[in-house]
Amino acid sequence: MGRLYSWFALFLQALIIATGLFLYIGMHPETTRLLGEKILKPAGIGFKRIDGSLPFGIDIYGVTYQKALTIGHLGIRYKPLELILPTPIIRNITVENIHIWPKRFENTTKESGSKNSIPIPALRIMHSWIAEGVIYTPDRIEVEADAKETILSLRNFAIDTFSLNIKSPWGMGRIAGTLKNRAIDATGYASAADRYLHEATRFISPIPKKIPLKLHATERKLSIFTKMDRKFSLKDANTTIANPNIEFVWHIAPNYFTAKADYEVESPFAEASMKQSLLFTPSLAYATKLEGELRHTAHPLPFKKFMADAAGSLDVVTADIYAGPFTIGLYSRDYNHLAIQASAKPHTLAYIEKLPKLFSSEAISLDANATVRLKPEPKAKGTVVVDGNFSIVKSTFEISKNSLLAHSLVSPKDTKGGIWANIPPPLAVALETIVYLSPQEHLFALDASNIMQLTLFEKMGNIHGWGNIDCLNFDANGTLHPDGTTDIDFLTKIESVHELMEDLNITSSVLIDAEVHSRFGIHLADTFSLRYETKIPWYLIEPDPHTVIYGTDSVLIGGITGKDIRIDRYHLCIIDHCFDESRASHFHLDENLTLHIDSLALLDHATAKGYFSLLQNRGEIHLGGKGVHYSGPEGNISANLDIKGAFCAKKVDIEGEVEVLDALITYKPKTEYTVNDEDIVIIQDIKEPSHTEKIVDLHIYSTHPLRYKTDMVDAYFIPDITIWKEAFKPLTILGLVKVTEGSIDVSDKHFTIESSDIYFRGAHPINPYLELHILYSVDLKKFHIYISHTLADPVFFFSSEPPMSQNDIMSYILFGAPANEAFSQSQQTQNGIGMMLLGAGLKKTIGSATGIKFDTLNILSTQEGGFGIEIGKRIGKRLRIIYRNDTVSSFIIQYTASRSIQIDVEIYDTGQGVKVLYIKDIRSIP
């Protein structure tokens, strides 16, 4: 027991002595300096001094590693007992004022090899900090770093958390993250230097002050990812890039780079979602692929998705673009000379909205080739061929730095199809154009096989030119403004439209002729607009053999802006009727070549709306208006209109209502001829029957009396009639016209019209039934005249108050006195003279009222004491027609065969008779 105690005491004494010796040696300043001299300097690490002690930590100042690294201060803090753990723990490492030259590390590594490398045991560093670090690349990069819980060994290197601040001439940034399993995951931001931000503002806005970053690094690759939920505007391109997501990867071992990006592009022309990938090497060999999907386009396109591939190096590039039916290829061996080839598979243009079907239905293909030189001066030349079902376009072009020259030839392949089918055959010819553009002057020339020509020159902003359409010549003058817009005025004069159509071999079923003086002004900017002023000294239109429309001194002023076709005002004369309108009228033409009448201003308050299809030659129109007023030679009329019409090449259908609100009618119908018997047919003008199916159902009415006034008649009437026409049948009138009151003044006599009716029963020719009551007063006596039956065959009844004989009634009406007072001779002489004067007065009265000029009109006495009428009219030298109405009505046709023979054909209501008369004295013929 005593021996064991002795050994324990000796061990304790030895441990105390050893610990004291260790503390003495470790805390002695010379110990740390000696270790630095024996361990650090042989490894190539220099220092100015070492402070501190081995048990608690050391501070090294002025550390250098040859010429690649300098450290102003390196401090290491630890606890002695933690250093003897299986994984020694260092509490803190501080590095201040460190400067690194990376390229010098390469040189020293090659020179020194690994013979003096220091073996580093596994360590656990609780906290490490780098302040005022600088890396020279050769640009100065300032670095500050902070790390916690660092594990360092030959097999493992991990950092629980770290942060890194970097500042360089290009910008600054900060990341914070972890290092585990030999992989770094960190987040942070980067910001460009002010000078780069200022430069970038010329091209893009807004410039982000900080770009968020995510970083992932392993021994094999370094990946950097950023995402920004905002929009950036590219100023010169008028384009916006939104929500870019970018991933950049450095593949360390193979030493190449890849990048992926997806973003959205918005411009005035299109909006698209883009995906792009890129691969490049340090030698700058690259390959890239771009995929896009269109979300919206300003102009229709035949595709929604497109793709582009490109690959190349410093010397060679090849690229292909695929978009629907289009394919574009590019190749260059020096980035200076490019070969471009483009093609399009056959496709239609139906994707273009509102394009007329004559264009959209045609299938076209495209083939183009071009060569481009970029230096010393850009220059390109090539050919373009567009082949369609009905047309083929061949173009050549040359483009240099200051000029463009293009020559095109449009040739018809089938003049019976496409647009050529709607062009008059003389104009369906090859069309040749030449365009030349330079900073000093512009030229445009068009030639349609010598039938139509146009030449325009522009120099110093002034445009002039000329052109012709066969024999029609016109001049052009205009201005090219500094903002790029253009104004051109065309002046033309057509002496005869009909002659021009004949010169062009244009035929039409409608006869059209006119003299036209026109001035057209074209404004070319972002949109096309046209203004026109057309004067028509005279015109004539004959749509069918039954209708002639003509006029003089008409003017139309209006324009075209975009799709809107308008007439701002017009002065139109139609058959001696002139109309002035200052309200604007609007039309537009759709993709089916249908002219829509949005509003056509007529009279003062009437408006017409409808459409007309130029392809189908059919249309509809609606004429409406409240309180529409018309004033002309026929009178003044105010009415409410509601009329609809539908028409095509072989049919016209009109229906509607006209409510006449107020009217003063002064129209005098023209009498071409008078037919007094249904057995007599007068052939005046035989017209070719119309082959157009015309249907009319037009109701004309009024709720209060209207006025009709001429030199002889002043009457008030209420109409309720329908103008009716069935297909291929004559026009008729149905309904009633009620005469409420009025008067007739004939040969200084005043007749009063009492309440009367006129009935229209659809007869043709128009022959209404009459129920007229006319009153004539003289010397307190009233004479009633009743007219009944039809207008063509009226029946007159006379009565008086007080009752009188027929002779006295007629004498009063004609002479204002009874027959016995009008003639003072014997009874026989009185009757003869009375009848003669009565006949003369009646002839004058009837002739003034009807406009019919008779050769003879005789008053005949009947056996019953009444009287009759005999009217005679000579037609030619040998023929006379006599109408006699005494006891019966009859027609007598007298034909003089020779100086001595006369043939009378007499037609009665009950039969006919023929007389052959021999006349001895030719002077006895009445």
299 pLDDT band, cuts 50/70/90, is: confident
Q: How far is CA 914 from the centre of its chain?
A: 79
Say whether pLDDT at 797 is over 60. yes
The pLDDT > 70 percentage for the chain reads 77
What are the tens digits of pLDDT across the range 723-739? 999 888 888 999 999 99
pLDDT for the residue numbered 274? 92
For residues 873 and 855, the answer to whether their CB atoms sit within 8 Å is yes
The helix-helix angle for 827-850 and 806-815 (nearest 10°) equals 60
Please name the residues in contact with 172: beta carbons below 8 A apart, sequence gap of 6 or more.
165, 166, 190, 191, 193
What are the tens digits of pLDDT across the range 367-398? 999 999 988 888 999 999 999 888 899 999 99
Hey, what amino acid is at 526? D
pLDDT for the residue numbered 236? 67
Q: Both tokens of residue 191?
A: 């910001």
What are the tens digits of pLDDT across the range 484-511? 788 888 888 888 888 877 776 667 667 8
Task: State the average pLDDT over residues 31-53.
Answer: 72
Say whether pLDDT at 5 is over 70. no
Helix then strand then coil, in percent of the chain rounded to 5, is 15, 60, 30
| CA–CA distance, 737 with 718 (Å, rounded to integer) | 6
Burial of 639 (0-12, 13-18, 19+ CB in 10 A): buried
Least confident of 149-158, 763-772, 889-898: 889-898
573 pLDDT band, cuts 50/70/90, is: confident
For residues 731 and 723, the answer to whether their CB atoms sit within 8 Å is yes
Residue by residue, DSSP assigns 565-625 as EEEEEEEEEETTEEEEE-S-EEEEE-TTSEEEEEEEEETTTEEEEEEEETTTTEEEEEEEE
pLDDT for the residue numbered 909? 56
Report which listed range, 46-55, 465-474, 611-620, is most confident: 611-620
> Structure pTM?
0.54
